[in-house]
């Protein structure tokens, strides 16, 4: 499709050439007709032919102008359609980009929200696990401390029992020593062992034979009775001492055996308790080592979880950087789109200005053409046969019916710069009112075709009425 500006220029140039020829041809034809005179029939026929030719060319030029205007309007409509299509495409592209940006933003926001939730969940879980491990470690530490305290108490009890056992042994030794001392004292009190043995030995030996001297019966009786009685008492004494010593020794041996049995039982019990204490201490130490190992494993697990959390944070930072880059790209796309829209708006403004300039140029040309045509038709209005189409109506567009004549069309034509040519509005309005006075059209109406007299009369009356209103409108007194 050719550009509207170049097409308009070509059409306007062609139209200007035709109008220039028309402007030169009409005055020349008029001057020739006036010079020859109306008395010569041949010249009148020639003039009529020339006028007919001119009238035939005028609709052709008007047709060309209308075609040009129609083509310009058609091209303007096509340009408007193209602009609307371009605007629609740009709007669709902009909406697509906006929807894509919104989708990306929503997905990024959702992803960031999920990452934040995962981070918070991992952080809370890590904290809970750390707290649980700390609680378990503190509980294990308390249990180990309690077990150590119990074992220490048991060991202290064992040591106390051992010390008591040693003290009992010392007491047993002292008791045995005391028994020995008591025995010695008893032996000293009852007589020595040697005396007892001598008595036993003496008792076991046969009695010595008496001296063969004759003794008196009385002296023998006195002497024999006393020694026998004394030996019997001594035997009883020594027997009693022997029985007491035997019982004492039996009691002493029994007490010593009981003391030794108690000491052995106490020593066995203490050895068993020491063995149990050693086993319990070994178990407690092993449990403490296990607890320490578990605490170390928990600490290592916590460190691994912290490393995982750090890696997750680094991933989140990387995702944030990616999101930032995507946002930058989105902003760049938006800026490019805004620049494109700015270019489109600038082109649209340029097109609107061009259209306005073209419209004003076309309107000016139409007014100038209408003004020249108006004056030309007035100069040849003395044609014997008039019709509604040949009358120069004071409008830009030639009306086909009286209803097409409006006050606005008359005002726009007569009060334009092209028509005024430096004159005031009031002067132009008064001159046209005088020209269109109904009394001046009486003779002209007689030369009007019968079929169009009604329309012509009505059109003249409307123009006269509208011109009166226009004069009253532009008159300064009426305006004050």
Asked whether residue 214 carries a pLDDT value surpassing 50, the answer given is no
Give the mean pLDDT of the chain: 72
**Cα 383 to Cα 397: distance, rounded to the nearest angstrom:** 22
Q: How many CB atoms lie within 10 A of CB 149?
A: 10
Average pLDDT over residues 167-189: 60
Helix (H, G, I), strand (E, B) or coil at 448: strand
Report the C-alpha gap between 136 and 131 in whole angstroms: 8
Poorest-confidence range of 48-57, 221-230, 295-304? 221-230
Q: Which tens digits make up the pLDDT trace of 93-142?
A: 667 767 776 776 677 677 667 777 877 777 777 777 777 877 877 787 78
**Whole-prediction pTM value?**
0.32
pLDDT at 187: 56
pLDDT at 28 > cutoff 80: no
pLDDT value of position 215 = 45
398 or 222, which is more confident? 398
pLDDT of 470:
92
Band of residue 480 on the pLDDT scale cut at 50, 70, 90: very low
Percentage of the chain modeled with pLDDT above 90 = 8
For every residue of 272-333, DSSP letters joined together read HHHHHHHHHHHHHHHHHHHHHHHHHHHHHHHHHHHHHHHHHHHHHHHHHHHHHHHHHHHHHH
What is the C-alpha to C-alpha distance for residues 254 and 249, in angstroms, rounded to an integer?
Answer: 8
Give mean pLDDT, residues 276-298. Answer: 82
Q: What is the pLDDT of residues 61-93, one digit of tens each?
A: 556 656 665 666 676 677 667 767 777 776 776
Do residues 388 and 403 touch, judged by C-beta distance below 8 A? no
pLDDT of residue 408 exceeding 80:
yes
Tens of pLDDT, residues 442-469: 888 888 888 888 999 999 999 999 999 9
User: What number is the average pLDDT over the span 24-49?
Assistant: 53
Q: What b/e sequence results for 334-348 when a residue is b if at least 16 CB atoms lie within 10 Å of its CB, and e otherwise?
A: eeeeeeeeeeeeeee
Q: Which range is least confidently modeled, 222-231, 411-420, 422-431?
A: 222-231
pLDDT value for 54: 61
Cα–Cα dist 1/78, whole Å:
10
| pLDDT of res. 406 | 93
3 state DSSP class of 386 = strand
- The 10s digit of each residue's pLDDT in 253-278 is 777 677 778 778 878 887 888 788 78
**How high is the pLDDT of residue 436?**
92
Pull the structure tokens for residue 452: 């169009």
User: What is the DSSP annotation of 371-425?
Assistant: HHHHHHHHHTTT-SSB-TTTS--SSSSPPSSGGG--HHHHHHHHTSHHHHTT--H
Q: Output 281 or 67, whichever has higher pLDDT.
A: 281
Q: What is the dihedral of CA 213, 219, 223, 224, to 10 degrees?
A: 80
Which DSSP string do the residues of 440-455 spell out, in sequence order?
GGHHHHHTB-GGGHHH
- Tokens 């449990």 belong to residue: 287
Q: How far is CA 424 from CA 148, 210, 341, 430, 474, in A?
A: 125, 213, 46, 10, 9
More confident residue, 186 or 294: 294
Lookup: tokens for 225: 């009775």
Q: What is the pLDDT of residue 464?
A: 93
Other Cβ atoms closer than 10 A to 75: 17
Q: How confident is the model at residue 367 (pLDDT cuts 50, 70, 90)?
A: confident
Residue 122 in tokens: 């991992």
Helices then strands, counting H and E runs in the chain, come out as: 10, 0
The pLDDT of residue 306: 83
pLDDT for residue 156 = 67
């Amino acid at each position: 499709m050719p550009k509207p500006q170049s097409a308009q220029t070509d059409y306007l140039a062609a139209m200007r050439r035709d109008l220039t020829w028309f402007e030169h041809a009409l005055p020349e034809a008029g001057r020739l007709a006036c010079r020859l005179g109306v008395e010569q029939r041949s010249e009148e026929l020639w003039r009529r032919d020339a006028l007919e030719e001119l009238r035939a060319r005028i609709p052709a030029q008007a047709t060309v102008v209308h075609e040009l205007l129609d083509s310009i309007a058609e091209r303007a409509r096509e340009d408007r359609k193209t602009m609307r299509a371009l605007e629609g495409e740009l709007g669709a592209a902009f909406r697509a980009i906006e929807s894509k940006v919104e989708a990306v933003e929503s997905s990024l926001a959702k992803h960031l929200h999920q990452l934040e939730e995962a981070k918070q969940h991992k952080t809370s879980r890590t904290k809970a696990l750390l707290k649980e491990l700390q609680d378990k470690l503190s509980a294990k530490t308390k249990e180990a401390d309690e077990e150590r305290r119990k074992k220490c108490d048991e060991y202290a009890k064992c040591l106390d029992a051992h010390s008591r056992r040693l003290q009992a042994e010392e007491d047993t030794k002292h008791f045995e020593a005391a028994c020995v001392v008591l025995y010695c004292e008893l032996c000293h009190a009852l007589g020595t062992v040697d005396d007892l043995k001598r008595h036993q030995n003496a008792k076991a030996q046969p009695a010595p034979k008496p001296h063969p001297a004759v003794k008196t019966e009385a002296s023998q009786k006195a002497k024999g009775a006393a020694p026998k009685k004394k030996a019997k008492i001594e035997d009883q004494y020594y027997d009693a001492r022997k029985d007491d010593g035997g019982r004492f020794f039996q009691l002493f041996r029994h007490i010593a055996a009981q003391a030794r049995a108690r000491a052995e039982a106490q020593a066995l019990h203490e050895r068993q308790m020491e063995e149990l204490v050693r086993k319990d201490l070994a178990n407690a130490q092993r449990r403490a080592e296990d607890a320490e190992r578990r605490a170390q494993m928990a600490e290592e697990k916590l460190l691994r979880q912290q490393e995982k959390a750090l890696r997750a944070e680094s991933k989140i930072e990387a995702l944030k950087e990616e999101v930032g880059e995507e946002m930058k790209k989105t902003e760049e796309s938006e800026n490019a789109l805004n620049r494109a829209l700015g270019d489109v708006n600038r082109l649209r403004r340029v097109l609107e200005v061009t259209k306005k300039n073209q419209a004003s140029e076309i309107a000016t040309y139409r007014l100038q053409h209408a003004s020249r045509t108006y004056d030309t038709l007035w100069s040849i209005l003395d044609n014997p046969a008039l019709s509604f189409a040949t009358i120069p109506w004071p409008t830009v567009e030639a009306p086909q019916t009286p209803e097409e004549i409006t006050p606005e069309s008359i005002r726009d034509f007569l009060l334009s710069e092209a028509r005024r040519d430096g004159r005031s509005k009031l002067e132009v309005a008064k001159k046209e009112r005088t020209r269109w006075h109904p009394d001046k059209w009486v003779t002209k109406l007689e030369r009007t075709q019968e079929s169009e007299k009604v329309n012509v009369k009505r059109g003249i009356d409307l123009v006269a009425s509208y011109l009166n209103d226009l004069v009253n409108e532009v008159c300064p007194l009426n305006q004050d």
